[in-house]
Amino acid sequence: MGVINQLSVEISNKIAAGEVVERPASVVKELVENAIDAGANVITVEVENGGTSFLRVSDNGCGMTREDAEKCFLRHATSKIRTAKDLDAIYTLGFRGEALSSIGAVSEIELVTKRREDEVGTIVRFAGGEHISTDEAGTADGTTIVVKNLFFNTPARMKFLKKDATEAGYVADIMSRFILAHPEISFKLTKDSKEVYYSPGDSNLQNALYCVYGREYAKAVIDVDYDIDGIKIKGVVGKSETSRANRGYQSFFVNSRYIKSAAITKAVEEAYKNQIMIGKFPMAVLDISINPAEIDINVHPTKLEVKFSDDSLIYRAVYHAVKNALYSMPQIPEIERREQEEPEQKEEQPVVMPRQKYGWETAKTPVQRGGFVGYEHKSPKSEQSYAVPKRKSFVQEEVAFTKKDSYDYLKEKREASSGVGDVAMSELRERHEAVRGIDALPRNFRVAGQIFDTYILVEREDELLLIDQHAAHERIKYEELKERLSQRTITPQTIIAPVPVELLPNEKLLAKENAAKLSELGFEIVDKKDEMFITAVPSPMDEETMVAVFTELVTAFGDNRQEVIDAAKERLTYTIACKAAIKANRKLSEMEMYALVNKVFDMEKINTCPHGRPIVIKMTKKEIEKEFGRTL
């Protein structure tokens, strides 16, 4: 007897569903694409519990007849194509006839639809691929589909889903792509009855950008309009200051279909070469219009992958489209000048500080941003209110200063934060003195001095050692931080003025969901007035670094792969260690040098900084004598 069996319809449908329906976001994608193909200009998506227990997609499209409403749940039933030749030129988003069949096979689904010319509509119910009922229904024109209990009959699939907030984040992400691809359609997304997105549908890409990315990013873009060899590229790219630590702000479309393409991504990033920092990624929203016969979108059921008949042509077109747009902008940014008004001779009023503006409570352990490990700025004692000098940097104190006092204040700040070494080395001195005291150091080495205010000369037995003071101290801090991370003993340090951080809705959901993990890494956040703020950091750092590291951590938690999370933690450790370490070109006292060298000798078998640069190089006495001709 043979061993090959033909699978039942039920099993084959579940297998097919696994290719199309990976998670709630997959369901939303398929249903919204159908709504767009139906000519809708208003589409509403509602999800609860991440979309696993309930999601609804409503549109005002053309609707269906009773016959089509039942037939659309059959496998490979579609109105988009009729012959094999039609596959050579796909003009619609859907065409495979698999979406509703696949969704219906792994959920409880209800479809309500009505055409404009019909007096009544139709309601069809399926559960686990089985037809439950078909009835007449009073409903508005268009189609509404409700999906409940996704994967109720395939519990193995449920195990691969992430937390509700993460799944909702994936839904928000795919909806943001639809908003950018179709500014002519009004989209609305709600999560647990709270609005996440609403786009006006006025065909204005600028308004769609504002809806997805916010005002600041929407203003900082360059228009792209390029046409070559039958390929038309339209959209926007971001100015260099909008670059991000990840590719979350890149959206590429082919004939208004969201796709992922390594060739397009590489072309855009190559066009930005030398325009943005290494490790940063440009913002880009580009729609490539091309003859459908020149592309194959039937590569995978998700239709995210596309094959071009000529990859090199697409690469060149995108590269030059972006490069031309960048060249059209002034290369040197203009400084915004504001005329200063003569101050009125009147009693000065206290200035409202950021913390007061947003209603923050006073920080219990304020730490100066841009300062150093262990540094706590002391407020000057004063009973009167002052006017704060205008400055964009971090607010040091929740007090204000008059114009006559501003110089003294800035002078004090410079002296307090003139170099990382002041505090970093005092930390070394304190530790060194507490443990042994300089006289108690082992005398098998001698610090001979410091050259170029960067390298420490050490004589040890028959060797001369040159120690890079920054690389050495950076490695010391790095090892200490790794230990604190593994022991989860990093204490968040409250910053005086919370720093706003721009996140996509899905990133904001991820940040909230992983708030406890972020706190273990030293970051604390709060949502206030629909904006997210960083309120504490693991160690003082500048605002740009703070936001970049925080965003990378949030993205890594969303990816949910341990290697990605570990890489983000490693970057955090590198960053803090580098910021906290003493710098080159900083003169050290003898005590400071002895303390640092002693810590270097404590690190067994480690002779590189976290970036791989050597900490110590050495010459033997014999090698030196040979150079002077004392020995052969």
Domain CATH code at residue 513 = 3.30.1540.20
pLDDT at 305: 73
Higher pLDDT, 424 or 524: 524
626 domain residue, yes or no: no
Confidence grade of residue 241 (pLDDT, cut at 50, 70, 90): confident
What is the distance between the terminal CA atoms of the chain, rounded to a whole angstrom? 88
Percent of the chain clearing pLDDT 70 (strictly above): 74
pLDDT at 182: 96
Do 52 and 121 lie in a common domain? yes
548 domain residue, yes or no: yes
pLDDT at 375: 33
Q: Hey, what's the torsion of the CAs at 196, 158, 567, 510, to 10 degrees?
A: 20
Q: CA-CA distance, 62 to 115, in Å (whole number)?
A: 6
381 burial level (CB within 10 Å; 0-12, 13-18, 19+): exposed
pLDDT at 299: 56
Do 514 and 530 lie in a common domain? yes
Q: CA-CA distance, 536 to 552, in Å (whole number)?
A: 16
Amino acid letter, 357: K
Highest mean pLDDT: which range of 3-7, 381-385, 564-568: 564-568
Percent of the chain clearing pLDDT 90 (strictly above): 43
Domains in the chain, number: 4
Instruction: Give me 590's structure tokens.
Output: 């003898």
Higher pLDDT, 211 or 387: 211
pLDDT at 18: 56
pLDDT above 80 for 50: yes
Do 279 and 389 lie in a common domain? no
Q: Which of 168, 202, 236 is the last residue of a domain?
A: 202
Identify which of 132, 136, 97, 117 has the alpha carbon closest to the alpha carbon of residue 13: 97
Domain CATH code at residue 243 = 3.30.230.10
Q: Which of 154, 175, 202 is the last residue of a domain?
A: 202
Domain CATH code at residue 186 = 3.30.565.10
pLDDT above 60 for 211: yes
211 domain residue, yes or no: no
Higher pLDDT, 280 or 472: 472
Confidence grade of residue 300 (pLDDT, cut at 50, 70, 90): low
The average pLDDT across 274-286 equals 87
pLDDT at 124: 96
Do 388 and 458 lie in a common domain? no
C-alpha distances in angstroms, 259 versus 38, 183, 320, 567, 571? 21, 17, 20, 27, 30
142 domain residue, yes or no: yes
pLDDT above 60 for 122: yes
Residue 545's domain comprises 421-617
Do 55 and 191 lie in a common domain? yes
pLDDT at 160: 85
* Beta-bridge partner residues of 134: 124
Do 248 and 299 lie in a common domain? yes
Do 235 and 153 lie in a common domain? no
Q: Look at residue 174 and give its three-state secondary structure.
A: helix
333 domain residue, yes or no: no
Q: CA-CA distance, 192 to 167, in Å (whole number)?
A: 13
Task: Kindly provide the b/e burial profile for residues 568-596, where b requires at least 16 CB atoms within 10 angstroms of the residue's own CB.
Answer: bbebbbbbbbbbbbbbeebebeebbbbbb
The average pLDDT across 11-36 equals 81
The average pLDDT across 539-549 equals 85
pLDDT above 60 for 256: yes
Q: What is the pLDDT of residues 185-202, one digit of tens each?
A: 999 999 999 999 999 999
pLDDT at 114: 96
Range in 42-46, 119-123, 254-258, 384-388 with the lowest mean pLDDT: 384-388
pLDDT above 50 for 165: yes
Do 198 and 301 lie in a common domain? no
Across the chain, mean pLDDT equals 79
Do 509 and 411 lie in a common domain? no
Range in 227-241, 361-375, 517-531, 563-577 with the lowest mean pLDDT: 361-375
Confidence grade of residue 542 (pLDDT, cut at 50, 70, 90): confident
Do 150 and 185 lie in a common domain? yes
pLDDT above 80 for 298: no
Q: Which of 141, 171, 202 is the last residue of a domain?
A: 202
pLDDT above 60 for 332: no
Do 318 and 444 lie in a common domain? no
464 domain residue, yes or no: yes
337 domain residue, yes or no: no
pLDDT above 80 for 218: yes
Do 476 and 440 lie in a common domain? yes
210 domain residue, yes or no: no
